[in-house]
Amino acid sequence: MKDYSISIQPFGERAILIEWPKEVSESILRDILTFRDSFNKLRQPGWEMSIAYNSITLVNNQEDVDFEEVEKQILDCYVSKNAGQLKEQRFLWHIPVCYEAEFGIDLKDVAKELKLSPEELIGLHTSHEYLVYGIGFLPGFMYLGGLPKTLEIPRRKEPRLAVAKGAVGLAGKQTGIYPQDSPGGWNIIGNCPIPIFDSSKEKPCFVNVGDKIQFYQISKAAYDLHKIEAEVGIFKLEKTPLDA
């Protein structure tokens, strides 16, 4: 596995920021995840990690950190990380989306701006696999990379005060799903009937950083059925293991 030049710096009294090269890259994300597993092997209490596109923020929720001591541990872990494989199994999740007009409230306008038919836009959106680079902004909000260039479109000039839970949107080089009702400025092209985040579950968000997402189109009737199935807990998302 390729090594990268990493930057390590204090991020307050209890946190450390580790940064990789500033680019969106699956290779860099895999390097970050492998380092994460290596650091976790130290089994030191109190540490939490937040992963983004090209960084990890380490936060100690028990005590202030000795930066020089932890910096050495980080460098040792980074050097030794190639001895192991990713510990966490990654999956490709197949997620249903209804693109009909009542859900895809920006679909026609987006298609027109991109010089596509709505059907072409949907075909492109569902034909790609998207890598989960981070989870944040809202609990369970996935930052997905891999959007085809033909679907890149700026955020809306005027954000909406309310975007519906399950809304699937486009913004810049990204696509994503709103896990709950929220203000938002993404261009909404559909809606997913399956909860992405459920605080009542032991693992509220079923997706992990490093997983992949592929959307598939469903009808309004299928949307209504899947929504009921999800509410009563009988809908099962299809997932495919990814090679380590």
Last residue of a domain, one of 58, 83, 108: 83
Q: What is the pLDDT along the chain (244 residues), one digit of tens a residue?
A: 577 899 999 999 999 999 999 988 889 998 999 898 889 888 788 899 989 889 999 999 888 889 999 999 999 888 886 655 556 789 999 999 999 999 999 999 999 999 999 999 999 999 999 999 988 878 889 989 899 999 999 999 999 999 999 999 999 999 999 999 999 999 999 999 999 998 888 888 999 999 999 999 999 999 999 999 999 999 999 999 987 5
Does residue 199 sit in the same domain as residue 100?
yes
Total count of residues recorded for the chain: 244
Which residue range is the domain that position 25 belongs to? 7-83
CA 239 to chain centre: 16
**28 inside domain:** yes
Taking Cα atoms as reference points, which of 136, 135, 187 lies closest to residue 157? 187
Question: Which pair of tokens denotes residue 70?
Answer: 């932890």
Q: Are residues 73 and 12 in the same domain?
A: yes
Write phi, then psi, for 31 (nearest 5 degrees): -65, -40
Structure tokens at 161: 């005060």
pLDDT value, residue 93: 97
Residues 124, 206, single domain; the answer is yes
Q: What is the CATH number of the domain that holds 27?
A: 3.30.1360.40
Q: Are residues 114 and 230 in the same domain?
A: yes
Please report whether residue 2 resides in a domain.
no
Record the pTM: 0.86
**SS3 category, 66:** coil
User: Do 107 and 118 contact (CB within 8 A), yes or no?
Assistant: yes
Q: Express the helix, strand and coil content of the chain in percent, nearest 5 each.
A: 25, 30, 45
Query: What pLDDT score does 121 carry?
Result: 98
Residue-level pLDDT at 202: 81
In the DSSP assignment, the letter for residue 230 is H
Q: Are residues 149 and 50 in the same domain?
A: no
pLDDT of res. 53 = 87
In this prediction, residue 84 carries a pLDDT of 55
Q: What is the pLDDT of residue 116?
A: 97
Residue 217 lies in a domain: yes
67 and 105 together in one domain: no
Written as one letter, the residue type at 61 is N
Q: What is the pLDDT of residue 86?
A: 59
List the beta strands (DSSP E) in 127-173: 130-135, 142-145, 160-163, 167-171
- Cα separation, 6 vs 38, in Å, equals 15
Q: What is the pLDDT of residue 1?
A: 58
